[in-house]
Amino acid sequence: MVNYKSHRYIDGRLKWVITDEDGSIINRYPTKEQIKAAILEEYSYGKKSKEKLKGRKCCICGNADTYIDSSGVAHWSSHICDKKDCTRNICYDCSLVGYHRHNQYIIERRKRKICCICGSNKTYVHPNGYHEWHNHLCDIIDCTKFICHSCQLMINELKTQQYLLEKRKGRVCCNCKIIDMEGHDIHWLNCECGKDDCTGYICSKCWIRDYHRLPDSYNSIKKSNANIRTGNLDRGTNCGKAIIDQAVVAKVHNIDDLNIKFDNFIYYIDLQHDTYGKIDVKGSTLKSDEWYFNNRRKIDCDTYFCIEYDLNRNNIDSIFIIPNDGWICNIMGMRIVKNPSRDSKYEQFKCIS
């Protein structure tokens, strides 16, 4: 008796098994030697006899032979046609001919496609040669049922604009109480004033008018620098917090602020000291029992002065003087925990507590 090897699902996994001539499994767990000695089964599913294998013929050319690969598997393809004597099989060569014909038919069909909107017969072509056509149905009598990729993008954009118009209708400005009836007359921004009757939106005119009233307006660099020189600076802004941090260190060590000295408020070095060299001052507010300081990851300063504030930024909790060398230059940021459960690597740099 000749033994065959076949792929079957055993215990939910695809494994090699030993079968007989009818395809029945005779050994579910064969060894490697038994698998090598067995012949590859041409049918892997169901019981099919050798007589049925011998009687297979191609429906197109009538040959009983087909391509057999290196593992011994004969390549046949399923086929259904209107012939009375259809064998329902075609050989490997005839299947390749049909595949190329199908591809040629698809290419010719794509060439005949015309966009229903712009009337063009061209569309976006992917690097792999695929033509990007989209299905389309409308009430036009001579509708081609296709649109090109550019028209599809235009339709998507129009739908997005229509959705935004419907969403903006009826919005009320929190300041001037103007109502947008059409949905496209006013440019809206979010409002977080905290009032009881706040609508959540503010029109662009009110936003610009209130924005220019701020003492530290990012819309005017000259105005921002003038506010720093005159002291008319909001301590809640990022620029105001940085100036306060630099002033604390400059007053303690009795040194000049380089930003004020050089009249350059974007200078990358804040202070200059005989012992600490070039100083970059950083401040952080307590959040989730920890302070976080960004690291420049550059060797353009010699020392970091890290000032830790309380939750409301009214009092200084501690100050760390960290040299910018060694492993400090390679980290993204410095995270210092208020009450660490183990020894902190930043504890050696702590000077004021």
pLDDT tens, position by position, 82-108? 677 777 788 877 777 665 555 555 556
Question: What is the pLDDT, as a whole number, of residue 46?
Answer: 39
Sign of the torsion formed by the C-alpha atoms of 298, 301, 302 and 306: negative
- Provide the pLDDT for residue 168: 78
Helix, coil or strand: residue 109: helix
* Domains of the chain, CATH where assigned: 4-91 (no CATH), 113-151 (no CATH), 234-352 (3.40.1350)
Nearest to 276 by CA among 349, 353, 347, 352: 349
The ranges of the chain with pLDDT < 50 are: 43-52, 215-219
Instruction: Tell me the per-residue pLDDT of 187-234, one tens digit each, with 9 for 90 and over.
Output: 788 887 777 888 888 888 887 776 555 544 444 555 556 665 666 666
Torsion of CA 173, 239, 243, 302, to 10 degrees: 160
Dist CA 304 CA 322 (whole Å): 5
Angle, alpha carbons 270-308-244 (nearest 5°): 40
The widest CA-to-CA distance across the chain, in whole angstroms, is 106
- Rounded CA-CA distance 148/118 in Å is 8
